[in-house]
Structures are given as structure tokens and as C-alpha cells.
Amino acid sequence: MQTKIYNQAGEETGTVTLPESVFGLAQNSDLVHQIRVSMLANARRPVAHTKDRSDVRGGGKKPWRQKGTGRARHGSRRSPIWKGGGVSHGPRKDKIYTQKINSGMAKKALHTVLSSKFKTGQIKVIKDFSLEKVSTKKFADWVAQVAENNFTSLLVVLGRSEKNIFQSGRNLSKVKIENVSQLNILDVLKFKKIVFTESALAGLAGRAKLNK
């Protein structure tokens, strides 16, 4: 499987081989959905927290005797049916939303989404590059050249840490820069187009071989 490779100016310089195990998989919507939901659940941090009848202060004494008053029987003023009582079935911040994710399934889901993106022409490979100094303007100009001003959102995947590139691109609202070791299915689904550097592509292929 071959695709074109471009230089920093956006000019075609040749072709590069793509691993079939990463970019040649069939679509599997059920697997992608399962992993996406699990990752979102694992990132969830509950904030809302209500007090039930055991948390609310007071209510230890029985409001009135059991029989003889003509009124309904009650055992506590902090019952959920009383004003000022505890909340019944309300949200609790101690609830656990974590879901187990099989690493093999997560990698296959990632490769499935990358395969779909490649088939629809939303993945581009470029030569490794660097910036001499931090410059958001220069990086924005580079993005315009590489993406040909035809993108709604762009994910740039690097093979190694490039401090100047990360700092130059972090203020661009439609662009995210990520190291290949942190690449995940949520970012691949979120961003419309993806640009891989040559070293990032090699790193992705190497990880795929290790997990066969």
C-alpha cells in the first residue's frame, strides 16, 4: 500500500509504504463505538453530589408517636418526602464510571478509524521538519500550505518531541499537535484531517508489528 509523501512546502517528493495492518482494515463501527464510549466514561469526573437521608443533618427523633394522632406514620423528618429531607436517587460523586478496555481492541479500533480516514483521502504524510524558533505565524502558514486551506480541523502527528512546533501550534483553534505515542481514537475521530510526519508513520508501523 503506497501513498504520496510531501515536503515542508507541500510539494510531492515521492511515495511511502503504509502498513496494511494499520491503514488497510475494514470498517467496524461496533468496535469503534464500544472503545469510544469506554474512553469517554474513563475520562468522566463526576461533580454533582446530593445528600441522601443518611447525610442530612438531624432527623434522629421520630416526629410523633406511631399511633393515636390520626396522621400518617413517620420515622424521621429527613425522609426524602419531607421538606429539608435527603434526596432520593440523586447524583453521587462517588459513583464509578470506569470501564475496562482491552488494549488489543483499542488498537484495532484506532487502526480501523485510520483506515477509513485513509480511504476517504483525509490522511497526508510529510517529511520530518522542525522550526528554528517559536512562531505561530510561520506554523499557520505551513498548515495552510500542507492542508491547502481545505480543512475544518487538523491533527498533526509527530514522531518525536518538537518543542518549537508544539508551542507554535497550540494557539491555533482548529489544529492539534500530538506525539504518535499519545495518538488515540478520540482525537482521530474529532479531527477531520490528519498529517503524519515520516517518523510518526514509522513509529505507528513499529507499534503495530509489536502487537501482532
Domain that holds residue 129: 2-44+97-210
State whether 78 and 114 are in the same domain: no
pLDDT, average across residues 153-182: 91
Q: Coil, strand or helix: which one is 14?
A: strand
- Lowest-pLDDT range, 1-5, 65-69, 109-113, 145-149? 145-149
Among 62-76, 113-127, 134-148, 154-168, which is the least confidently predicted range? Answer: 134-148
- The domain tally of the chain equals 2
Residue 150 pLDDT exceeds 70: no
110 and 137 part of one domain? yes
* pLDDT greater than 70 at residue 168: yes
Rounded to whole angstroms, how far apart are CA atoms 192 and 143?
Answer: 14
pLDDT digits (tens, 9 = 90+) for 28-56: 999 999 999 999 999 998 899 999 999 99
Determine the Cα–Cα distance for residues 145 and 95; give it in Å rounded to an integer: 48
Do 189 and 84 fall within a single domain? Answer: no
Q: What is the DSSP string of 50-99?
A: ---TTTSS---S-SS-SSSSSSPP-S-TTSTTSTT-PPSS---TT-----
Q: What's the pLDDT at 142?
A: 87
Query: How far apart (Å, rounded) are the C-alpha atoms in residues 183 and 83?
Result: 51
pLDDT in the model for residue 104: 92
pLDDT, tens only, 77-95 = 999 999 999 999 999 998 8
Same domain flag for 53 and 104? no
Question: Do residue 38 and residue 135 come from a single domain?
Answer: yes
Q: Residue 130's pLDDT band (boundaries 50, 70, 90)?
A: confident
Same domain, yes or no: 15 and 69: no
What per-residue confidence (pLDDT) applies to 164?
A: 92
Question: Does one domain contain both 88 and 162?
Answer: no
Q: Are residues 112 and 176 in the same domain?
A: yes
CATH code at 169?
3.40.1370.10
pLDDT at 207: 79
- pLDDT given at position 28: 95
CA 23 to chain centre: 20
- pTM flag (> 0.75): yes
